[in-house]
Amino acid sequence: MLLDFGFDYVLENDRVRLEPLRIDHLSALKNISREENIWTYFLGRSNGQENFESYILDAIDCRKKEKEYSFAVFDKEKNSYAGSTRFFEISDELNTIRLGYTWYGKGFRGTGLNKNCKYLLFEFAFERLKAERIGLGAHEENIVSIAAMKTIGCTEEGRIRNLFPSIDNHGRSDAILLGILKKEWHEEVKHKLKTTLIKI
């Protein structure tokens, strides 16, 4: 697979551009980061509402350490940065990759932006990196996110029990695991997802 962490990958179509996350994206994304509901299902270093600069610096550092590769998401239709997403748990030995840490401002949700982003990311991972599978996951209480992943072609594969504190801090919640395989992408998912993309 061999993702080149030193290379600035830019993924784009008519609707969206994904560009490597940089420190200068901080000011462009800071106002969106103040929307508290973005961080409801994020834990630890992902809690951008408290220290967004540290969140951005950590993401950049993870790329330098060749652990993760984060993107800033630019909505061409709205001419504005919309959020961020990243590849992580990248395994050359297994030829697998995970996709997550995805968040968008409320004004960009339900607009078709996410489907365009996922199409570009899946295409890149399966066709350029030649990954065998992409893994995704979500807090079991994040029903909207789980439904969105299934809509773009992901299959629910299982759960990790009691991984997260529940959102109300009473008890624990499971993580729902989803995934998509290279064969599924080429045989069905790519075509179906492409037909749903909303363009300018």
- Which pLDDT does position 167 carry in this prediction? 87
pTM: 0.94
Q: Output 19 or 43, whichever has higher pLDDT.
A: 19
Q: Percent of the chain having pLDDT more than 70?
A: 95
| Cα–Cα distance, 6 to 64 (Å, whole number) | 8
User: How would you class 68 by CB atoms within 10 Å of its CB: exposed for 0-12, middle for 13-18, buried for 19 or more?
Assistant: buried
- Give 43-84 pLDDT, tens digit per residue: 766 666 668 999 999 999 999 999 999 999 999 999 999 999
- Give 109-152 pLDDT, tens digit per residue: 999 999 999 999 999 999 999 999 999 999 999 999 999 999 99
- Which pLDDT does position 46 carry in this prediction? 65
CATH 3.40.50.300 fits 11-196, yes or no: no
- Which pLDDT does position 180 carry in this prediction? 98
- Which pLDDT does position 49 carry in this prediction? 64
Q: Delimit the domains of the chain by residue range.
A: 11-196
* pLDDT class of 200 with cuts at 50, 70, 90: very low
* pLDDT class of 168 with cuts at 50, 70, 90: confident
